[in-house]
Amino acid sequence: MRTAHRFAADPASPRLWRRQVGDRVELWTEPVGELPAVYGERWTEFDGHPLRTFEPARSKLAAGIHGGWSGPLPRAGERWLYLGAASGTTASHVADLVGPGGDVFAVERSLRPFARLDRLAARWRNLGPVLGDARTPDAYADLVPPVDGIYADIAQPDQVAIVRRNVELLARAAGAAVLIALKTPSMGRERTAPRHRERAEVELAEFVDLAPAVRLDPFQRAHYLVGGTWSPGGGGRAAPVIRPRPGTRRGPRRP
């Protein structure tokens, strides 16, 4: 472990920590669960806080934060809906960020990753697996109370429309956070990745006040982190997309 004084909590989400190591920044979260590691991430302790690495090569949310995302993030005590949770790699970190006083409802439709997600939730007690399809939120609405934020990582051509249905049905109030790991390869070949991102932002601006999008290169090619805060009456366009910094390297259940 390198010098511990280089750890610093992030003001935007105090359970997110950063550490400067040479010319790069590492991301860490305070785990709600316990060892063993979820996907081989490193664990350590700083000033009484257990921490585990939040790897941008394994998580699109981490890649977006690493690349300069300035929009909303999960915060302690909040309730989040996660669409497309798979086996729970990033969902476990979102659960870390909301902490033991918050909850994450993680929707996954495929049985095999859902089984792994369900096993993970036995250790991450604020992570609630929901077997369901993000395209039909009415089917799981009775299982999910109003949420403070929605994060989506879904490989569908109509990703924005799917998120909008979930936001309008399940967001607690105006100002709720809306984050999408935009997968442009799933949106068709008739447009380039930047054109898909532009079109997605036009659709998002109908109901979201947008933060600047972040490209997820080199960790996820042709992917972006997009979103902002829910504005039911119509949002607004954001500043130009944030591009990767030069030199960036790859690097609930209650008891």
Question: In this predicted model, which residue has the larger pLDDT, 180 or 22?
Answer: 180
Q: Give residue 221's pLDDT band: very low, low, confident or very high (50, 70, 90).
A: confident
Counts of helices then strands in the chain (DSSP H, E) = 5, 13
C-alpha torsion 11→83→100→143, nearest 10: 140
Instruction: Report the chain's mean pLDDT, rounded to a whole number.
Output: 90
Per-residue pLDDT tens digits for 108-165: 999 999 999 999 999 999 999 999 999 999 999 999 999 999 999 998 889 999 999 9
Q: Give residue 177's pLDDT band: very low, low, confident or very high (50, 70, 90).
A: very high
In sequence order, the 6+-apart residues with CB closer than 8 A to the CB of 224 are 64, 181, 182, 184, 193, 197, 200, 213, 214, 215, 216, 241
Instruction: Name all contacts of 17-23 with Cβ < 8 Å and 24+ positions apart.
Output: 17/46, 17/49, 17/51, 23/247
Q: Is the pLDDT of residue 237 over 80?
A: no
Q: Distance of CA 77 to CAs 74, 98, 103, Å?
A: 9, 5, 8
What's the CATH fold of domain 61-230? Answer: Rossmann fold (3.40.50)
Q: Which residues pair with 85 in a beta bridge?
A: none
Q: For the full predicted model, state whether its pTM sits above 0.85.
A: yes
Per-residue pLDDT tens digits for 41-84: 999 999 999 999 999 999 999 999 999 999 999 999 999 999 99
Q: Is the pLDDT of residue 183 over 70?
A: yes
Provide the percentage of residues in the chain whose pLDDT is more than 70. Answer: 90
Question: In this predicted model, which residue has the larger pLDDT, 190 or 33?
Answer: 33
Q: Is the pLDDT of residue 245 over 80?
A: no
Q: What DSSP string runs through 60-73? A: HHHHHHHTT--S--
Cβ-count burial of 181 within 10 angstroms (0-12 exposed, 13-18 middle, 19+ buried)? buried
Measured CA to CA, the distance from residue 137 to residue 154 in angstroms comes to 14
SS3 for 114?
Answer: helix
Q: How many CB atoms within 10 Å of residue 255?
A: 3
Measured in degrees and rounded to the nearest 5, phi and psi for residue 175 equal: 95, -5
Question: In this predicted model, which residue has the larger pLDDT, 23 or 41?
Answer: 41
Q: What average pLDDT does this structure show over 243-250? A: 45
Per-domain residue ranges of the chain: 4-55, 61-230
CB burial readout 220-239, b (16+ within 10 A) else e: bebbbbbbbbbbeeebeebe
Measured CA to CA, the distance from residue 255 to residue 238 in angstroms comes to 42
Q: Give residue 5's pLDDT band: very low, low, confident or very high (50, 70, 90).
A: low
- For residue 227, give both structure tokens: 């979103």
Q: Is the pLDDT of residue 251 over 70?
A: no
SS3 for 17?
Answer: strand
pLDDT score recorded for residue 255: 43
Single-letter amino acid, residue 136? T
